[in-house]
Amino acid sequence: MCQEKLVQEAVDTLLDNGIRGQLMRDGRSVIVVGPSLSLHRCGLPREIAIELFQTFVIRGLIRQHLASNIGVAKSKIREKEPIVWEILQEVMQGHPVLLNRAPTLHRLGIQAFQPVLVEGRAICLHPLVCKGFNADFDGDQMAVHVPLSLEAQVEARLLMFSHMNLLSPAIGDPISVPTQDMLIGRYVLMSGNHRGSFTITDSNPLSNPTQQNMEVLMAERANLVFHNKAIDGTAMKRLISRLIEHFGMAYTSHILDQVKTLGFQQATATSISLGIDDLLTIPSKGWLVQDAEQQSLILKKHHHYGNVHAVHQLVGMRGLMSDPQGQMIDLPIQSNLREGLSLTEYIISCYGARKGVVDTAVRTSDAGYLTRRLVEVVQHIVVHRTDCGTARGISVSPRNGNEVIFYFG
């Protein structure tokens, strides 16, 4: 018994002396938007960064003969001397970090970034990588990990960097697409009459292939379509896909950064705001609802979700709701959020809210378990070609009256 106690004390002593800290260096904090960041960068608070890279900073202080031993180096770090931040900046320039948001249901749930120091206590995240993490800036937390071995750092740089993961692993479409404020700024720039904003002095710009004509040459090479109007999200996805196909992900990430910056600048200059007084219901709504009461079946068939649907709920009518089993409730909500709901309409609308809370707790674990089972089944399969050439496949019939039939082969 005494020998077991001595061994346990020896193990505890080793762990207290720093062996435990070398297994994994990680931290956690709330995420906020970093509008000035590049796609491959993230902002780390000083308090988190100095803890994650403390051992590297200690080594730098001793190598530069600024500290005689580990104890002196730790005291300099506690006192937050200016030389500590300079060494920390040098260490972070050559060391990527991994950001992870739970639950990690697919490959883009954990990505690598080049860290930069920021003020405050929140992790700054590029707005275009939020969709891959399924994150938003309403209090979400993310964990940050430091890869220690050289092999882990190489894997993070070559495979996990955010600017190398612009496509969805599931369907192959671009997943880093400008939205929200960036979309508003882009719409303002590309809508309306802007004649006189720029002029072309050379009738044949390709005859003088200088640096100024690089945009024209790029468009010719990629066979891009010049859009003289505001483009929607679908056209933006096609444009990003064409850029990735012809120029690669690294170059496309620079273009996305420029689109992001331009969109934020124009959205800030436009200063668009929306309040409840701006939402006005149409006077003839009562007659429209009365005429459509006998056509609820048509509304049920054409029920869909989207940005226009949100406007309908604000100033039109909320429409048909779903019950906990996912079936449409026959009684539509005729009021809108601007007018307010009656007691019956409020109870009907609560079905979806309760179902969403339950799905958050139940379906997340189910999806994680399904992902693990799929990995165990197909982890021995290695795909070498894009198309296997087989004529065999599985056809999936339409669902809920849709006209599109998907083929898997």
What is the pLDDT at residue 23? 44
Q: Which tokens belong to 179?
A: 């939205």
Domain ranges of the chain: 3-163, 166-192+225-272, 278-295+304-357
Q: Is the pLDDT of residue 204 over 80?
A: no
Report the 10 Å Cβ neighbour count for 188: 16
* pTM of the predicted structure, to 2 decimals: 0.69
Residue 286 has a pLDDT of 64
Task: Classify 278-295+304-357 by CATH class.
Answer: mainly alpha
**CATH for 3-163, among 3.40.718.10, 2.40.40.20, 3.30.1300.10, 3.40.630.70?**
2.40.40.20
Least confident of 2-16, 25-39, 58-72: 2-16
Long-range CB contact pairs, 129-137, < 8 A, 24+: 129/39, 129/162, 129/176, 131/175, 131/176, 131/177, 132/108, 132/162, 132/165, 132/175, 132/176, 133/99, 133/101, 133/108, 133/109, 134/101, 134/105, 134/109, 135/31, 135/101, 137/31, 137/32, 137/33
Instruction: Say whether pLDDT at 212 is over 80.
Output: no
What is the rounded distance in angstroms from the CA atom of residue 36 to the CA atom of residue 124? Answer: 10
Question: In this model, does residue 334 exceed pLDDT 60?
Answer: yes
For residue 407, what are the β-bridge partners? 395
% of the chain residues with pLDDT over 90: 33
